[in-house]
Structure 1
Amino acid sequence: MTGTQGDGRPGAPRATAVPFLLRWSVLLVAVVCWELAARAQDSVYFPPPLRITRHARDLWFSGPVGHLFLTSAAVETLLPSLGRMAAGFALAAVAGITLGMAMGRSRAAYALCNPVLQFARAVPPPALAPVFVVVFDFGTPMQVASIAFSAVWPVLVNSAEGARATDPLRLEVAAVLRLTAPERLWFLILPSALPRIFAGLRLSLSLSLILMVFSELLPGSDNGIGFTLTDAQTRSDLLTVWSALLLLGALGYLLNTVLLAVEKRLAGPRTSAGRTA
């Protein structure tokens, strides 16, 4: 029968498992090749992935169950970094969506602000580090401000473009129905702009992770993943360096997966996951 296996069981689990295995096959092959090559060469600079994973587990995820398996080193390393990243990303998201929607619905505001916007987004984030150090001094406020300022532009640009792309016919229907400005924004403009907004949020999330690490590499930092990288490099602890890189990759994948799930829930299946700025 269609949709069932030979023993009569539904074929949906098999149909779901095949794309899952294909999706992870390239990574699995790469890890196996790395493992075999690293064991053959026995180089201190490129340890085997299994050894890196065991070291990361012992370093950060071998704590008690009551602490969600987090060790004291994990609390000192992960939580400060995630807190700075979450604060910077939240500020960038709120400011970018608010300003972007306002710019996108006003032709005059868009024409006036667009040159400044294009100039500001073209400035490399590391080049602004001295400015933030002078304004905020070293510490968490400087790190959060640098993350928020540099991560706001993808959200702002995509929100503005999404608001500008609202179907004019729908706006005319809203005018005929005498919807108020807040009602048009909430029921018409914002849903229409959601795909572009989430495209900007995904870019902003990636930037936030990168800028979080960069801000913790600067002098004055005493905790976080970036500080752990610098400290391990100073001590020539290459195993911890590789473990931190593995942790950053896992965090990036996990956070992007969560954001995609939120996008699917809010924007629906019509949103294209591959749409970019």
Structure 2
Amino acid sequence: MSHAATQQQPATTTPPQRRSPVAAMLRRAGLRLVYLLGLPVALILVWWWASASSGLYYLPAPDVIATTFGEVWFSERFAQDALPSIGRLLAGFALAAVLGVGVGIALGLSRSLRALTEPVLEFLRAIPPPVLVPLLILLVGVTTSMKLLVIVSGCIWPILLNTVEGVRAVDPVLSDTCRCYGVRGPRRLVTLVLRSASPQIMAGLRQALSIAIILMVISEMFASSSGLGFTIVQFQRSFAIPEMWSGIVLLGLLGFTLSVLFQLVERRVLGWYLGLRAATKGE
């Protein structure tokens, strides 16, 4: 047998094909889209099946609600009822944010003031805001001010309490550093106190936003002649069930939209904090 015949040929192996970064990114985006849309689509299908199998008048099919939604809210009713409700919601939330952050900073910086006001604040915080609606109607009347006060009475507490805890949790090393470099007064408040407490302040604002939507609807259901809460109750009383469901869907879309917008603002405001957390996890 010749030497050439006995010599083994080297095996040729094909190198593994690496997936391009663009393809991997598109795959991750596709999987995330499936995860985000999978549950809502499944819930709508279950709802569709339940409405078709039960035949209940009070549980209309999703296509009926979607058609009614367009007929009801893609009209002048949106400007008459939805926009005033959104305006009251944002105004009450903004007023609660200003009061909650301002009072929270004062209480967080002063131990004696915090000890003096803590019993009263704990008592007021324990009162459910919807209980104040009859009292505010007597004091203020059925006005926009009453609805704003209802929203503020519930939204102020998570903002205030989170602000107090955030101010109290300021790093003493950073505080001593500011004192050594002569950073005092308003400059210290902005550069150290507010910046250090901003993660907890934003957490309180996030909680208050969801509370504001609830109280906006409650204030309009009790005493009002317009607004989303009033309209939904009127639909229910007149047995306009698809229209009632369309109002509920609109409230859900409003809450979802506000949550997404708040997340965008939060990422902008807390960019330094989120970057620091990502760097810490990367280590």
CA offset at residue 3 of structure 1? 6.0
Amino acid in structure 2 at the alignment position of 1:113: T
Amino acid in structure 2 at the alignment position of 1:161: E
Paired with 1:183 and 1:268, the residues of 2 have a C-alpha distance of: 21
Give the secondary structure class of the aligned counterpart of 1:11.
helix
Matches within 5 A, 1:194-233: 194-219=198-223, 221-233=224-236
Alignment equivalent of 2:173, drawn from 169, 176, 181: 169
Alignment equivalent of 1:248, drawn from 247, 251, 257: 251
| Cα 1:2–1:157 shift into 2, 3 Å | farther
Q: What are structure 1's unaligned runs of at least 5 residues?
A: 62-70, 273-277
Amino acid in structure 1 at the alignment position of 2:50: A
Alignment equivalent of 1:141, drawn from 136, 139, 145: 145
- Partner residue in 1 for 2:92: 88
- Partner residue in 2 for 1:128: 132
Q: List, as ranges, runs of 4+ consecutive aligned residues in structure 1 with deviation greater than 3 Å.
A: 269-272
Paired with 1:55 and 1:22, the residues of 2 have a C-alpha distance of: 28
8 Å contact from structure 1 (residues 3, 12) kept in 2: no
Question: Size of the alignment, in residue pairs?
Answer: 259
Q: CA RMSD in A?
A: 1.6
- Partner residue in 2 for 1:14: 27
- Partner residue in 1 for 2:48: 35
CA offset at residue 208 of structure 1? 0.8
CA deviations 1:89-137 (Å, max 9, x no partner) are 1100011011111111111112122222221111111111122112211
CA offset at residue 2 of structure 1? 5.6
Max Rg structure: 2
Paired with 1:151 and 1:17, the residues of 2 have a C-alpha distance of: 38
Amino acid in structure 2 at the alignment position of 1:4: S
| TM-score normalised to structure 1 length | 0.89
- Partner residue in 1 for 2:238: 235
Q: Percent identity?
A: 36
Matches within 5 A, 1:97-112: 97-112=101-116
- Partner residue in 2 for 1:178: 182
- Partner residue in 2 for 1:67: none
CA deviations 1:195-234 (Å, max 9, x no partner) are 1111111111111100110111123x11110110111111
Q: What are structure 2's unaligned runs of at least 5 residues?
A: 1-16, 278-283
CA offset at residue 143 of structure 1? 0.7
